[in-house]
Amino acid sequence: MDWKFWNKVTSPAPGTSERPTDAYEALRLLLGMLLRADMPPFSNWHAPGVVFAPNVENTAQSATKGYQLALWFWLFAEKHGVVAARMARDTFCLLANEAQPSTGDVLDNLIELENRLIQSFDATPAEQRSFVQNGHSVGLPMEFFLATGFLLQAPDSPYHGRSGVDFEGNDIKLAGCLRSATEQALPLFKQMIQALQGFDARSLPRWKWSASPGAIERHLQRRYNNPLFSLHRQVVTSNDVYEARVADYQALAEIRKELAELASEFNAHSELPVDRHPFLNGLRERLDTLEDYRLMAGGENGSLGGAIAELRGKVMTVLRSVRQNNTQRLAKLEKAEALQRERHAALYATDWMRQLRSHATPIPPQEVVAALLSDTPEEIETAVAALQAEPQLHSTLENCRAYAHRLVAEVRAGGHALPDMDEKLRILDASRT
């Protein structure tokens, strides 16, 4: 990962005396400030009196400027929310790619590393962020924690991936640079963020799709410039994407809230109620429903799935313990568990299948087949196998197959190329056997 582009002077940035009220113009200003060698606060990354060895200099500069850059987006998120901040970051990186090819991708990785480091710091217990000196506990500054993490994880760092390493004082020096750079950046960045009158996603001319889109964003992604959909449905705006992400984010937030309530309900019972079987079975069923909602919602929700599974595991441990003296009931429970696993494997095999099961599916009935044909051949094959495994869904599969052939014929008659479509139709036709 090459981060050696800091000192390449590009076209002049807008004057820092200007305070854009529009997010897009603010992002352009921020990029100009970053890429110029003489524009504060990025030009002031080096703490006074600190000298790094040549093999550490670029890593230290990347760490400090990357932290300043991440700070701007954290301040943006405080005012406009994490969804807006992610869209702003994507736009910023696309702008950077236009200014210098591949620079935006590098900056995105750099900001992501800074985010991981700060999240790691927040998740580390306080006792592990301190040391004893003269009988007193002394907390390590956050900047020191971030400095050591960056020196160990940055790909171009001479300390990358090493354990038990002597940083030769560079950790302390870098921590000083991070603190000094924060002091330089905060006043200016706060002024920039405060000048923004609001966040209007329509001001962003372009965006990047999420790596793991939620259900609503995923259907926008299918529709975008896709001839399988009607012409007006192929049009997707940055505001559509923003609103979809907000809705997807809210769906996961509601699941997290309900999970917290279930955890409180479970933990509140230090002793099981008299009607313990209905209580435990009820918790299990509600957790299964919550897991269904998580799969339907999509997005980056792996940690949420882990939390649901962890609580469900605790419930199942207690449920098994209260049935341990009843072999028949315990066997019935294990059978139900096996059926539950098979059900999930069959009915939630692909994003398309998960989203169709949602009561608030983003896929309208008239777009079900177009959505299926927008998947990869591998995903279609998985979905077809799952539909074949459910006798009650065989008619659904037959209807999808018939409509798919008509739709593809219409689209091809309009002169549109459809990559991999013959393979997709072959998979659907093979399901007849």
Q: Domain locations in the chain?
A: 23-203, 215-352, 363-430
Structure tokens at 263: 């955890």
Residue 322: pLDDT over 70: yes
pLDDT in tens, 400-413: 999 999 999 999 99
Mean pLDDT of the chain: 90
- Please report, rounded to a whole number, the percentage of residues in the chain having pLDDT higher than 70: 92
Confidence at 33, pLDDT banded by 50, 70, 90: very high
The predicted structure's pLDDT at residue 127: 74
pLDDT for res 433: 59
pLDDT at 132: 63
Q: Which pLDDT value is given to residue 13?
A: 46
Percent of the chain with pLDDT over 90: 72
In the structure, what pLDDT confidence band is assigned to residue 5 with cuts at 50, 70 and 90? Answer: low
The pLDDT value recorded for residue 296 is 95
pLDDT band for position 16 (50/70/90)? Answer: very low
Predicted confidence (pLDDT) per residue in 335-354, tens digit: 888 888 887 777 788 999 99
What pTM value is reported for the model? 0.86
